[in-house]
Amino acid sequence: MNLKRVVVTGLGAITPIGNDVPTTWDNAVKGVSGAGPITHFDASKFKTQFACEVKNFNASDFFDRKELRKFDLYSQYAIVAAEQAIKEAGLETEGVDKNRVGVIFAAGIGGLHTFEEEAGYYALHPELGPKYSPFFIPKMIADIAAGHISMMHGFHGPNYGTVSACASSTNALIDAFNYIRLGMADVIVSGGAEAAIFPAGVGGFNSMHAISTRNDSPETASRPFSGSRDGFVMGEGSACLVLEDLDHALARGAKIYAEVIGGGMSADAYHITASHPEGLGAILVMQNALNDAGIKPEDVDYINVHGTSTPVGDISEVRAIKEVFGESAYKLNISSTKSMTGHLLGATGALEALFCVKSVEEDIVPPTINHEPDDLDENIDYNLNFTFGTAQKRTVNVAMSNTFGFGGHNACLVVKKFSGK
């Protein structure tokens, strides 16, 4: 089969470290932490009282009051990030066949805040009987962001959401990549969004002992690969990439950021929340991605790792990288941008794919922050280059993004510099 080549022609982001791509990328390169006290609700009685929230986001700048009745916060983030990417890619110009433009947009949870508000009312006041908004279900469901984006722009191509916990938006991008290279669409607007920093989200992760409780130092709480790490830091926001058939992009003179060359998927088949301790699923997903891309391990320059700052997960991912890459693992740059953005759950894969695209475009690797030289874990090989502390300039021809989700879902995307060949 003669597969089409797929390139990235637009980027958008609403994140804890910036409300657009330039600001987000600049702060990632500078090593800025997006963590701080929770403002979405009173978290004073929770074990964790901080998170990486989106800042200075005013919904009324983008939506009128009537529209806002239809949008959960996660959909608001998705729509705005997608708007940025669509505008940058020039998809609203004449000559773009909107019947050949799709939207595949992910969420790991979806409209959690809407669910809390609606279901909570009846739980608190059962004597008053059920009282639900007609917008309750369509605001809450995890596919609705894709629907809104397509309706707002008249895109009639493939349209749905993917749900695979923290791997959700990487799965969305892989699906988009495959549809385009198979010739089933010319362009797909793809990414993920999440907004779960509300009582049920924080309380639920607290009860699992999954998130950090370092309330005295939120900015340094996400510390992947450090000995004192105690869980991930919740994040929120959205990231969007416009994926496009290369010939289609060249014909309309679109800017090309990078080329998508492969995607891999696997399952741990091990535990509902914990990664396989030996990294078996992580090994398989990276091998699958390399095979799909048609490259060797030594061709990869940078891995944006899942690296959530959890005691078990960080160790298993390092083991997997060493198994897959062998001696070339020591020539790689590895970094966890979650140390700055927190963990955006269903949106994290898209954001980290965006960072990979920017890395190959600008030849710079963003850092893993919050590591102290004497804060070590005997199970982690510190001869690997984790890009601790500060960004590093280097040629990045090929970058890989790992995402692993509850349920054992693993997904990996590979991008490279666009050379035109």
Residue 368: exposure state from Cβ atoms within 10 A (0-12, 13-18, ≥19): buried
Q: Which residue has the tokens 């749905």?
A: 160
Element (H, E) at 241: strand 237-245
Cα of 309 vs its chain's centroid, Å: 16
Amino acid in position 10: G
Other CB atoms within 10 A of residue 137 CB: 14
Token pair recorded at residue 3 = 């597969």
Q: Considering the candidates 166, 240, 356, 412, report the single residue annotated as catalytic.
A: 166
Element (H, E) at 67: helix 65-68
Whether 412 is catalytic is: no
Q: Considering the candidates 306, 356, 371, 409, report the single residue annotated as catalytic.
A: 306
CA distance 414 to 290: 8
Kindly list the distances between the CA atom of residue 265 and the CA atoms of 198, 287, 296, in Å, as whole numbers in the listed order: 30, 9, 17
For 114, phi then psi, to 5°, come to -60, -45
Kindly list the distances between the CA atom of residue 280 and the CA atoms of 202, 266, 296, 301, 406, in Å, as whole numbers in the listed order: 29, 9, 19, 22, 15
Cβ–Cβ < 8 Å for 61, 77? no
Q: Considering the candidates 113, 148, 343, 371, report the single residue annotated as catalytic.
A: 343
Cβ–Cβ < 8 Å for 188, 194? no
CA distance 219 to 239: 22
CA distance 143 to 104: 9
CA distance 174 to 413: 7
Whether 343 is catalytic is: yes
Whether 356 is catalytic is: no
- Just list the catalytic residues: 166, 306, 343
